[in-house]
Chains A and B, each alone.
Chain A
Amino acid sequence: MSRETALVTADWVEEHLNDPKVVLVEVDEDTEAYDKGHIPGAIKLDWKKDLQDGVRHDFVSKDRLEALLSEKGIANDDTIVFYGGNNNWFAAYAYWYLKYYGHQNLRLLDGGRKKWELESRELTTDVPSREATTYTAQEPNADIRAFRDEVVEAIGTKNLIDVRSPDEYAGRLLAPAHLPQEAAQIGGHIPTAGNVPWSKAANEDGTFKSDEELAQLYSEAGLDENKDTIAYCRIGERSSHTWFVLHEILGYPNVKNYDGSWSEYGSLRGVPVAVGDQPGQA
């Protein structure tokens, strides 16, 4: 994987607005952003209503994903270009999730909704209709998703990257600063995890930093390229963004997203926790 296979530019999107095999999909933390205006032809996925199970604390199963994408008119051989607000935070989550279920042609719009909007490019409130398809998902790709037991075993052996803000990492906040403070039972981080806030991977206009800047960012936090890596945050969305950087842009081979993240880990019994600004000991 590389920047060329994972990202497209706003100009590229404008050139492909009428390409029937390119499907633009907006996924936002603010699920009403799409309704205020979106890139012409784009459809909307609601990360909560469409992608979460609703009963189990998990995202939707393969069957439900197949039904969802079929209804949305997405075919197996379509190129899906995700974009969204907040540096593509939730768009990266949708990308990771579709990758988990084996979709082949996935891209993120570099800069996401913000760059598009700040450049005053066209937005519309027209909702397109796409003919339904019969979408077939693949079996889950366990190589890119970590569960809690693997995370506990990774302490002191694999790269653990906590991508939340410094205050969340230290345990001074339990959730991002623009959300009400409700989440795990306790604050802190997984011992030995380095802290690289996810947003450091993006420039102010929402585009990703250069490969050189990105590689340096993670190596300075102690990431050893010869080891496997697990990224986590609070609920697995911001760490999808970092997973995207490490796995899809920089092409590091063994990178997993721990989507249970701190909201799960910080509520577990019997596991070690570190507080404060230092990684802590295994």
Chain B
Amino acid sequence: MCGAIKGGPSLEGVDVANQAVIQGIVTRDDEPVGNAYVRLLDAGGEFTAEVPTSATGQFRFFAAPGSWTLRTLAPRAEVVERKVVAQKGSVAEVAVAV
């Protein structure tokens, strides 16, 4: 695979109007990381959910509106944290470079 595609997975079939979507892609040197783990922490820092990235490095959460933190773990990499705000009816895209 040469170079990462931009943004999270396709939203085809997702009822975005009724969801607060957080999604994105994990890359290393601009290549997708397909074996990373993305953890979703709530505003108080509590773990809420975790997903493995897809083969194309992508991930998605259906969150509640509010402030969240993404914590990304990948083999042979430091943990990366990103703050993100989710809103109902919109998609928050997050790019994570490890």
Contacts and interface: CB of A to CB of B under 8 A. Distances in A.
Nearest to A167: B64
Interface in A84-126: 85-87, 114, 117-120
Interface in B31-53: 34-35, 37, 39-40, 42, 46-52
B34 A36 contact: yes
B62 A120 contact: no
B52 A181 contact: no
Contacts of B49: 165, 176-178
B40 A177 contact: yes
Nearest to B37: A114
A200 B41 CA distance: 12
A117 B35 CA distance: 7
A166 B46 contact: yes
Contacts, number: 67
Given A114-B37, A120-B75, A178 B51 contact: yes
A253 to B, nearest CB: 29
A122 to B, nearest CB: 13
A196 B73 CA distance: 24
Interface residues of A, number: 28
A33 interface: yes
Contacts of B48: 165, 167, 176-177
Contacts of B62: 175, 177-181
Q: Which of B19, B49, B74, B75 has the most chain A CB atoms inside 10 A of its CB? A: B49
B47 A36 contact: no
Nearest to A165: B48
B55 interface: yes
Contacts of A177: 40, 48-49, 61-64
A14 interface: no
A120 B63 contact: no
Contacts of B19: 180-181
B19 to A, nearest CB: 7
Nearest to B52: A85
Given A33-B52, A181-B19, A197-B46, 11 more contacts: A85-B52, A165-B46, A165-B47, A177-B40, A177-B48, A178-B61, A180-B14, A180-B62, A200-B47, A204-B71, A204-B73
Interface of A: 30, 33, 36, 85-87, 114, 117-120, 165-167, 172-173, 175-181, 197, 199-200, 204-205
29 contacts: A36-B34, A85-B52, A87-B50, A114-B37, A114-B52, A117-B35, A117-B75, A118-B37, A118-B73, A120-B76, A165-B46, A165-B48, A166-B46, A167-B42, A167-B48, A176-B49, A177-B40, A177-B48, A177-B49, A177-B62, A177-B63, A177-B64, A178-B49, A178-B50, A178-B60, A178-B62, A180-B15, A197-B46, A204-B73
